[in-house]
Structure 1
Amino acid sequence: MRVLVADDQDLFRAGFSLILNAHPDITVVGEAADGAEAVARAVELQPDLVLMDIRMPRMDGVAATAEICRRTSAKVLVLTMYDVDEYVYDALRAGAGGFLLKDARREELVRAVLLVASGEALLAPAVTRRLIEDVVRRGTARPELRRRLGELTDRETDTLRLIARGLSNTEIAAELVVSEHTVKTHVSNLLTKLGLRDRAQAVVFAYESGLTVPGSA
């Protein structure tokens, strides 16, 4: 797996690169010191995943994430120092596949990179709480999103609801009493029908549409 590390602090970049390069299945192919450089390097190197700091000069992690998701197929895992960072919600909507706090342990970092690169959503508990709070603050569910929910089958709707609860494909399969292959098909179909990039955006959609409400997960 090819990873690009973007952070404006030299020590963080070096530390993340050292940890990731120690894993046999991960290679850090480049580094970037700000958002604009992250976009340029991502387009040049075409990594599988970009490890993105959210607060950087010239172009912040939100804008850089949106541009990278538009111009490449790379997944983006966003790192933040703050569990209540105001950019969390915007970065998820921009296409970030997951969020992790910078104080995470090294094994958590490696696991996060592997999960997000494989298409799983990864949201630290504090980040999920922030997402819920933002949805509540913004008010009622958006009616146009409710209409789009009608395009899903009952099983796809159930799958989306379970994704929003943070369940993996294996856990969803057990919950719905179907095979994991069937769950993967449901996930692929619902992402296509709703025009979503990945599971993280599916979580946002579930809350914004009102399919999942705070306290139900």
Structure 2
Amino acid sequence: MPESRVLCDCWGKALLEAMPGGEVMTSILIVDDSEFARTLLAGSLSEAGLEVVSAVATAGEAVLAAREHQPHSALLDLNLGPGPNGIDLAQALRRIDPAVGIVILTTYEDPRLLPVDTESLPLGSVYVIKDSVTDIQVLVDAVDRSIDGASRMRISDPPTSLELTDAQADVLRMIAEGMSNAEIARRRGVSERTVENTIGRIALRFGLRQSPDSNLRVKLVRAYQSLTAGNGRA
């Protein structure tokens, strides 16, 4: 059966059927600015037995939906386009319902490279790298953990996949943002020589070398982009 047919068939199925034995279905709010992603997630999660109460594109729509439906958990794309990001929205949803579970989806392989501060995630949030979602059960488990995490008020530790120190990850992100060595040094409160040494160590991690016909910083930006899906989306 074509995937699109499966998505259409199962989209409203979980919304209309109660679980056997009168069990309460886990309700979820999906927020993603990509219509394709919203449809795919809603269909797959409904088929997996979750009740998708709403699937919306913006933070404003999500706040309204959360107030109306009071979902058990919210699945949020980190990058929602112009305006509030997924972390901003997560904080707003927790103000509406302190017990709502939060699942953050991102393409970034290492959260230390994110252009936002993951430490501002509400307690109990679950961080999921999109490439790690090889099966819908990964997201179902993440939703369950987010609900449990919200009740325990304990944040899940974001995975770190790079063999970089925190300082090296920070410098790599700043290079990708176009900052000069002097700007990085001022931002971090260190000398330019320290920044140069850090860049050298980062290059070694990636097996990169300076050569007459290429720029090391360009190579590092490309390496950064390869770790962040290449398009700057979170």
Paired residue secondary structure (1:17): helix
Cα distance change of structure 1 residues 116 and 10 upon mapping to structure 2, 3 Å threshold: same
TM-superposed CA distance for 1:88, in Å, is 7.8
Contact (CA 8 Å) 2:30, 2:55: kept in 1 or not?
yes
Match of 2:104 among 78, 82, 94: 78
Check conservation: 2:30, 2:52, Cα contact below 8 A: yes
Gapped runs of 5+ residues in structure 1?
140-217
* Residue 115 (structure 1) shift: 1.5
What residue is the counterpart of 2:127 in the other structure?
99
Structure 2 counterpart of 1:46: 70
Secondary structure in 1 matching 2:160 = helix
Question: 1:93 and 1:8, CA in 2 relative to 1: closer, same or farther beyond 3 A?
Answer: same
Answer yes or no: is the 8 Å Cα contact 1:61–1:91 preserved in 2: no
Moved more, 64-73 or 48-57: 64-73
Q: Structure 1 pair 55/19, CA: closer, same or farther in 2 (3 Å)?
A: same
Preserved CA contact (<8 Å) 2:122 2:155: no
1:89 offset after TM fit, Å? Answer: 6.4
Q: Normalising by structure 2, report the TM-score.
A: 0.50
Q: Is the contact between residue 5 and residue 30 of structure 1 (CA under 8 Å) also seen in structure 2?
A: yes
Unaligned runs of 5+ in 2: 1-25, 171-186, 189-234
Letter in 2 for 1:100: V
Distance 1:67 1:38 in 2: 10
Aligned length: 137
Which residue does the alignment assign to 2:193?
Answer: none
CA deviation map 1:109-138 (0-9, x unaligned): 1111112122275445237x79x827x969
TM-score normalised by length of structure 1: 0.54
Match runs of 1:1-217 below 5 Å: 1-24=26-49, 26-57=50-81, 58-73=83-98, 74-85=100-111, 86-87=113-114, 90-95=117-122, 97-103=125-131, 104-105=133-134, 106-119=136-149, 121-126=155-160, 133=166
